[in-house]
Chains A and B, each alone.
Chain A
Amino acid sequence: MPKDTGIGAATVRREDVRFLTGTGEYTDDITLAKQTYAVFARSTVAHGTIKSIDTSAAELMPGVLAVFTGEDFAEVGGNPAGWLINSRDGEPMKEPKRPVLAHGKVRHVGDAYAAVIAETVQQARDAVEAIEADIEELDAIVDMNAALSGSNFVHDEIGTNQCFDWGWIEDNREATDNAIKNAHHVTTLELVNNRLVPNAMEPRASIGSYKASTGEYTLHTTSQNPHLTRLLISAFVLGIPENMLTVIAPDVGGGFGSKIYHYGEEALVLAAAKRLNRPVKWTADRTESFLTDAHGRDHVTKIELALDKDGKFLAFRTDTKANVGAYLSNFSTATPTFLHGTLMAGNYTVPLVYVNVKAVFTNTAPVDAYRGAGRPEATYSIERVIDKAARELGMDPIELRRKNFVKPDQYPFASAAGLEYDAGNYDALMDKMEEVADVAGFAARRAESEKNGKLRGFGVNAYIEACGIAPSNLVGVLGSRVGLYDAATVRVNATGNLSVMVGAHSHGQGHETAFPQVVAEMLGIDPAVIDIVHGDTSKIPFGMGTYGSRSLAVCGSAVVRATEKIINKAKKIAGHMLEASEHDITLADGVFSVAGTDKSVTFGEVALKAYIPHEYPLEDIEPGLEETAFYDPANFTYPSGAYACEVEVDPETGKVTVERMTAVDDFGNVINPMIVTGQVQGGLAQGIGQALLENTSYDENGQLLSASYMDYTMPRADDLPMFAVDHSQGTPCTHNPLGVKGCGEAGAIGSPPTVVNAVIDALQSGGKDVTHIDMPVSPARVWEAMQ
C-alpha cells in the first residue's frame, strides 16, 4: 500500500466534496411526508411567574394543528445533569428539574413556555404571536455575587442559587493555605473567563416522527452523540423504550460542545409527532441559537500562586464562581469541576493545588462545555498568573515555566491536582516554539513596530489538557452518571469493501477520512474501499459520541480493536484456504501468506470466502467477517503544547492586532497531519475570538445585549494572522493502541492566555502600568486600561 494513504498521510478530506458543493444533508434539508412545523413561544423576560397562558386564539389560527404548554409535560421527566457533584460538606448538588417547556416560571430570556405546531412555519409563527401569556416579571438574577447573597431564587424549591460548593483536593486545603501563607512570594490575579456563545454555523434543528403501526419514534437532530441523546430521552425525559426510538444525526454543521446536550425542543417534536401522527420539524433561527444554545465558560476566578525565592512553584489556590445559567445542562456540573480543577497543576511539578468552585444559578442561558470545556478556564488562570509572577519577580516568562516543568524522566507523573500524566516533553515543545516563533528576532520586530508608533508584545503559554474522555471507572468514582467508552463495528462485505460503524460522530472533524486511514493501514488495503457509518443509532453500535477530543483516542481505539479481531478471523479463514495453521499466516499489503512459502490469498479472496463459505470449516469458524469492539480507555490522554503570540497595540485607539501566532502541540502520533493542522487552526481562531472579540453581555435585567452578529463578534479571517502550527514533537500516548492524544480543543485552550499575555507585554513595553485586562480585550478596554 502506498504510504501516502495510511497512518500519517495528509489525505484530503473526502467529506469535503459534499460540504463544499452544497450536497451535504443536514437536518433542515430533510423533509418527511406530511411534515408539520413547530415554533416556540419564548420568554422575553429573564425571570417571571407564569400566571396563565391562553392558547385559545392561537389554536383557531389558520393551519394550526396543536399548541403545547408546560402543563402538557408536567408529568414527564426532566432533562438531567449527567454528573453528580458533591459539595465540600458532602451534600449532593442541587438539581432542580429542567422541564421540556417552562412550567410555573420562566427563567431566562428565550426560555420556551409554549409551542405551536402548524402546517407551515409562517402559520406557526403567526399563532405564537396570538398566544396570550400573562407572565409577571420578577427581578432578574444576573450577577453571581448577588445571586449567592440574595433571597431571590432562580429555583424557589431549592431555596438557594448555589448549585454546589466543591473543593479539590479537599485534603490539600490546609496545606495549600499554609504554603501560601508562608511563601517567599505570592502573586494574585482576579480574572473573568468570558461567557461565549458557541455559534455553530448550522443552528439546532430536530424532526420528530412516529409510526403508529409499530410505535416506533425517529428523531433526526443536530447532535454530536445520537446514542446519548436517545438515552436521555428514553431513560429520563419521555420514557420511550430505547428500542422504539431511533436517533439520527445526519450531517451536522459544527457543534463545539453545544450539540452534545439534549434540549427540550427534541422531546417536544417527538411528543407532538405522536399526538398528531405526523412528523414535526423545528429549526432554530439565529436569535434562538444565541438565546438558547448552551453557552460556554463564564467563570470569575481569583488565583494565587506561591513561589519560593528561586521561582519554584509551591502552590496554586483558586476561588472560582462558575455560572451554570438557569438550568443544569447535561455536563454543566462536570465542566467547572473535573474538567477544570483536575488540570490546575498545569505542566508543572507544583506540589500543592487547591481549587474551590461554587456553581451558581442565574437567569441566563444554561452554560455547559464549549470547545475545551474547563481546561481553557484552568489554563487561562494558571498561565496568566504565571506571567504576572514572572513580571513581579523580574524573571523571563519562558524560564520561569521551564524551571517548573515536569521533566521527561518523571513520567508517569502524578500531578498535584490528581491526574497521572503518562507522557510528554514540555521543554522540547518550548524549544520548538522558540525556534518556530523566532523568539530571537522579536526585539527587532518590536523596534520596527515602535518606529510605526505601535507597541509590540510577546506572549507565551504552556498548556496541558486531559482528553480522550474518559476512563469509565475513574469518572464513575468522580460522579459521572454515564460511561465514556466508545464502540466500532468493522463489517467486511463479501466483495471486499468495508463499512465501519462508529459511535463517534463527525461534524467537522474529518472522521470519514481519518478512520479509514487507520483501518487501511492495518489491513494493507486502499482506504477508498472503506466507508465510515456514523450518526444513526439503528446502524451503529452504542457509542458515546464526539467531544473532549475523544474520537480518535477512544473510538479510534475501538476501531483498532475491531480491526484486530477482523485480522485474527481472516487469518483463520486464510489458513484454511491455504491449508496452513492460522499461526503461520502473515498479513502484508492486503495479502495473507504462509510464512516461508509463496502461498497466498488476497484480503478480497478471504472476504469472499467468509460470505460464500463453500468448503468451509463451519465447525471451527463462523461465516461472515464482521467484528465489534468496545473500548474504554485506561486513562485520559494528555496533549500539551507551547504557544506564542505577538501582538501590536495601537496606543491611540487601543486596537490589538495579532501579528504572529505559533502553536506547537504534542498530540502523540498523528494519523492525518492536514486534518490536525486544520483542527488547530480552527481552535486558534476560536481562542483568539475569546481573547479579543467575543463578548456575551447580559444587562441587569437579564436581557442579552449581544444577541446577534451586529453585536457579538465572531472572529473573521482578517482578524487573524497566518498561523504557524507544528506537531512534530509528539510523545505517543502510552495506553491506547494508536498512541494518539486528541487535537480538537488544543487551539482554543492554548491561545487565550497567550494573546492576553502578549497584550500586557505590549502595554508594559509602552510604560503602561497595566497588569491585567479581562477578555475580550477590546480596543475600548485596552484604551480604558491605559488611561
Chain B
Amino acid sequence: MYNFDVETPVTVADAVAAMAAEDAQALGGGQTLIPTLKQRLASPSTLVSLKGVAEMQGITRDGDSLRIGGATTHATVAADGSYPALSALASHIGDPAVRNRGTIGGSLANNDPAACYPAAALASGATIATNTREIAADDYFQGMFDTALEEGEIITAVSFPIPQAANYQKFVQPASRFALVGVFVAKYADGVRVAVTGASNEGVFRWTEAEAALSANFSASALEGLSVSADNMIADLHGSAGYRAHLVKVMTGRAVTAAS
C-alpha cells in the first residue's frame, strides 16, 4: 500500500467536495479497492469513505419501488426481503465479511464483469441515482469496469422496480466465487428482462432474444431453439467462450423455472 489521506464526510455534499481533490477515490466497503491498494496496483491521494454518509444508508420501499442507499451493505440487502430475488442475490455475494462491508454503490461503480449486482440492476431496469442525476441501468453499464459515471460522481442510491417474479442463478467461478455466468430474470407487467453477468468481454448484457421469447411465454421451454453466440464471450482457465455461452442458456432456463 502507498500512503494516502482519508476523508470521512457525513453528507453527500461533503463527499462530493472531498472528491474534488486530485486523484481522490471514493471508498465504499473496500472489498475490491483495499486489496487493490495492498497490491500497490492503485495509488489514490485521498480515499473518500462514504460509509458515514447517512443519506446513503438503508432501504426504503415506496409501493412497487425499492430505493437502496448507495452505501448500503450486501448484508442489509440480503436481510431486507422486499425484493426476494435481489435479497437472495445479495446473500450469495462473497462471504460474510464481504457482505458486511461491501456496498451496492461500490459494486455498481466498479462494474466488475463478473459481479452479481449489475445483473440485478440491468434486469430490473433499475435507476442509478447520483449526486447530479439519475441514470437508467440501460445507459449506465458501458462495458467491463466501465460505467456512465463521471469523474467524482457518487452513486447515492439505486431504485429497483419490484417485479412480479424474478430469480438469479449464479454458476460460480470455483476460486473467486464470482459469477462464471450469472443470469437475472425479472418479469414485469410490460415484459421480461434477462441480464447476464460473468460471461461477456463487454460486461453485463441483456439477452434480448430470450426476453422476447419469455415475454411471450414465461417458461424455460420458451428458450428451446434459442442459442447464445460464443462471440465475445470470456475465455479463461475456468472455461471457454463456448462453455460460457452454453451456461447462459442453462442458467436462464433455471432462473425462469425457479421464478415461475
Contacts and interface: CB of A to CB of B under 8 A. Distances in A.
Contacts of A714: 175
B176 A710 contact: yes
A713 interface: yes
A199 to B, nearest CB: 12
Contacts of A712: 175
Interface stretch (B62-70, B138-146, B238-246): B238-246
Contact of A710 (B175, B239, B247, B250): B175
Contacts, number: 44
B207 interface: no
Interface in A711-726: 711-714
A713 B173 CA distance: 9
Contacts of A705: 236-237
Given A652-B250, A783-B243, A778 B176 contact: no
B225 interface: no
Given A709-B176, A710-B176, A780 B250 contact: no
A289 to B, nearest CB: 14
B171 A653 contact: yes
B9 to A, nearest CB: 27
Contacts of B246: 783
A586 interface: no
A653 B174 contact: no
Contacts of B39: 287
Contacts of A779: 171, 174, 239, 243
6 contacts: A125-B40, A652-B250, A693-B175, A710-B175, A783-B243, A784-B240
Contacts of A706: 175, 237
Contacts of A709: 175-176
A695 interface: yes
Given A652-B250, A653-B247, A711 B240 contact: no
A778 B238 contact: yes
Nearest to A654: B243
Interface string B217-260: 00000000000000000001111100100110010000000000
A780 B175 contact: no
Interface string B1-41: 10000000000000000000000000000000000000110
Nearest to B95: A716
A764 interface: no
B240 A693 contact: no
B103 to A, nearest CB: 20
Interface string B105-148: 00000000000000000000000000000000000000000000
Given A653-B250, A705-B237, A706-B237, A713 B174 contact: yes
Interface in A598-651: none
B240 A780 contact: yes
DSSP class of A's interface residues: helix, strand, loop or mixed?
loop
Contacts of A695: 237
A697 interface: yes
Nearest to A711: B175
| Interface size classification for chain B | 10 to 19
Interface in A696-738: 697, 705-706, 709-714
B53 to A, nearest CB: 29
Interface in A721-758: none
Nearest to B235: A780
A697 B174 contact: no
Interface in A652-677: 652-655
B237 A697 contact: yes
A780 B176 contact: no
Q: What DSSP secondary structure best describes chain B's contact surface?
A: loop
B171 A780 contact: no
A582 B242 CA distance: 81
Contact of B174 (A125, A287, A693): A693
- Interface extent on A, as a size class? 20 to 34
B250 A784 contact: no
Task: From A125, A287, A710, name the one whose CB has the most chain B CB atoms within 10 angstroms.
Answer: A710
A783 B238 CA distance: 12
Nearest to A122: B1
Interface in B151-196: 171, 174-176
Leading 7 A-B pairs by shortest Cβ distance: A780-B239, A713-B175, A713-B174, A710-B176, A697-B237, A652-B250, A780-B243
Contact of A711 (B176, B243, B250): B176
- Count chain A CB atoms within 10 A of each CB in B174, B236, B243 and give the residue with the most: B174
Contacts of B250: 652-653
Contacts of B171: 653, 655, 779
Interface string A106-133: 0000000000000000100100000000
Contacts of B176: 709-711
Nearest to B176: A710
Contact of B237 (A652, A653, A711): A711
Contacts of B174: 693, 713, 778-779
A643 to B, nearest CB: 23
A379 to B, nearest CB: 24
Interface in A399-426: none
Contacts of B247: 653
B96 to A, nearest CB: 13
B36 to A, nearest CB: 12
A653 B237 CA distance: 16
A655 B1 CA distance: 38
A105 to B, nearest CB: 26
A544 to B, nearest CB: 36
Contacts of B237: 695, 697, 705-706, 711
A693 B174 CA distance: 7
A65 to B, nearest CB: 21
Given A779-B239, A783-B243, 4 more contacts: A652-B250, A693-B174, A710-B176, A779-B174
B100 to A, nearest CB: 19
A709 B176 CA distance: 7
Nearest to A650: B250
A122 B3 CA distance: 10
Interface string B196-227: 00000000000000000000000000000000
Contacts of A697: 237
Contact of A784 (B40, B175, B236, B243): B243
A122 B37 CA distance: 13
Contacts of A713: 174-175
Interface string B55-94: 0000000000000000000000000000000000000000
Nearest to B251: A653
Q: Which of B237, B239, B250 has the most CB of A within 10 A?
A: B237
A697 B238 CA distance: 11
A652 B237 CA distance: 19
Contacts of B175: 693, 706, 709-714
Contacts of B238: 711, 778, 780
Q: Which of A652, A655, A695 is the most central at the interface, judged by chain B CB atoms within 10 Å of its CB?
A: A652
A705 B235 CA distance: 13
Nearest to A780: B239
A477 to B, nearest CB: 43
Contacts of A784: 240, 243
A706 B238 CA distance: 10
Nearest to A655: B171
Nearest to A696: B237
A114 B171 CA distance: 43
Nearest to A776: B174
A653 B247 CA distance: 7
A125 B1 CA distance: 9
A695 B236 CA distance: 12
A652 B171 CA distance: 12
Contacts of A711: 175-176, 237-238
A113 B84 CA distance: 54
Contacts of A653: 171, 247, 250
Contacts of B236: 705
Nearest to B243: A780
B183 to A, nearest CB: 12
Interface in A80-138: 122, 125
A566 to B, nearest CB: 51
